Amino acid sequence: MINLETPKKVRPLIDQAHQVAMNMLRPISRKYDEGEHQYPKELDMLAAMIDGISESGATGGAGAAGVRRDEKPQEKKGNKNGANLASVLSVMEMCWGDVGLLLSMPRQGLGNSAIASVADDEQQERFAGTWAAMAITEPGVGSDSANITTTAVKDGDEYVINGEKIYVTSGERADSVVVWATLDKSLGRAAIKSFVVQKGTPGMRVERLEHKLGIRASDTAVIMFEDCRVPAANLLGSPEVDTKQGFAGAMATFDNTRPLVAAMAVGCARASLDLTRSILADAGVEVDYDKPVWLQPAAAATFLQLEAEWESAYLLTLESAWMADNRKPNSKEASMAKAKAGRMGSEVTLRCVELAGTLGYSEAELLEKWGRDSKILDIFEGTQQIQQLIVARRVLGLTSAQLK
């Protein structure tokens, strides 16, 4: 059974992440929000420090370990609090600092989670240390990743990739891109595989960088693939198309990344709540946890409601990560966490802007920035509507063909 207290072994990691968020990310947050597409050089030193800590084993493996479906449940009795739980807790703290800067961290791309989830042991070793972006979204395809049209055609010992990917986070800065493509469109979802395409590969080019509402510190690219040849060994996992397994390989990636995105929303919302509580206190509005909500000022009552929403998203996120660590199927829980946290993040940050009045709307504080940053967390890695659809399928026991 899950224990809702923070595990002792990850508390030092959380404290370190909070110090980084407060002393390194917050001070440069506004700078890189205004200087969109300017690379945050301060992150290179931070990345080197994190690499050193990881190599020493002091973090307990706080990188996204991935939900490996081919692994058997642990023989050891009892619960395991492992890399997935450590990752979401540290991500929460880092996003208390700045979401866009976290997404800009070298070697911490969403593509790294895809590699961790799907790659075989040889690939895990070969791609260790790479900074991988993840290219899923395509123009005109919508939120259902199963409809992607980018193709990968086998030609000898290589695959030839053709297609266009949009909104690729860290698409220009990353060392490599994990691109999703179909081996055979007629075989449907089962034929969708992911490939590691390394930077500088002929046929892959960054077409442009997007100007965005939020997470402006993070570069977001449009990438074209035109007769881009990659080694067959760069296809992550098995090249076999198993129609019975269907979309399982891709879903294993999402089962890993969605709790991380939920954690980003939880961290950003927590930052808004902490600052708003301070602003309300300065205005003479105290939030009293010992009084019934109806006996408190309207602003305090609203704040308590927002905290309750935050708490539920936080707990769902921990549950989905804990299940991954304990090799329990977590697809439903990952989508529940992503849906709840994404919606909560947008609601909480914008209501905090409202509660803070002119301070919330001005650039004197970071509240307006957090309101802008949080919206993407309800959209990428699967929109709110897609998450609800996935949860409904899991609850009702229906397939994607039966419930669209």
Cβ–Cβ under 8 Å, residues 133 and 171: yes
Residue 248's pLDDT is what? 61
Catalytic residue among 93, 309, 333, 381: 381
Q: What dihedral do alpha carbons 366, 59, 328, 310 form, nearest 10°?
A: -20
- Strand-pairing partners, residue 205, are 224
Q: Could you give the CA distance from residue 272 to residue 304 in angstroms, rounded to a whole number? A: 13
Per residue in 264-286, pLDDT tens?
999 999 999 999 999 999 999 99
- 155-165 average pLDDT score: 98
Burial of 260 (0-12, 13-18, 19+ CB in 10 A): buried
Residue 68's pLDDT is what? 53
Burial of 198-219, coded b for 16+ CB within 10 Å and e otherwise, reads: bbebeebebeeeeebebbbbbb
Burial of 399 (0-12, 13-18, 19+ CB in 10 A): exposed
125 assigned to active site: no
Instruction: Compute and round to an integer the Cα radius of gyration of the chain.
Output: 21
Question: Which has more confidence, 178 or 143?
Answer: 178
For residue 59, pLDDT beyond 50: no
SS3 content of the chain, % helix, strand, coil (to 5): 50, 15, 35
User: Is the pTM higher than 0.85?
Assistant: yes
Residue 227's pLDDT is what? 98
Cβ–Cβ under 8 Å, residues 214 and 149: no
Q: Which helix (H) or strand (E) holds 57?
A: none
Cβ–Cβ under 8 Å, residues 367 and 356: yes
Per residue in 120-145, pLDDT tens?
999 999 999 899 999 999 998 877 77
Residue 64's pLDDT is what? 44
Confidence of residue 60 (pLDDT cuts 50, 70, 90): very low
Q: Which domains does the chain have, with CATH numbers?
A: 8-123 (1.10.540.10), 131-234 (2.40.110.10), 248-396 (1.20.140.10)
Q: Which one-letter amino acid corresponds to residue 39?
A: Y
Q: Count of alpha carbons within 13 Å of 340, Cβ hemisphere only?
A: 24
Residue 55's pLDDT is what? 56
For residue 75, pLDDT beyond 60: no
Question: Which has more confidence, 367 or 73?
Answer: 367
Short-list 268, 222, 250, CA closest to 371: 268
Alpha helices in 131-179 (DSSP H): none
Mean pLDDT, the chain, rounded, equals: 90
- State the DSSP code for 235: B
Q: How far is CA 10 from CA 61, 87, 263, in A?
A: 10, 9, 15
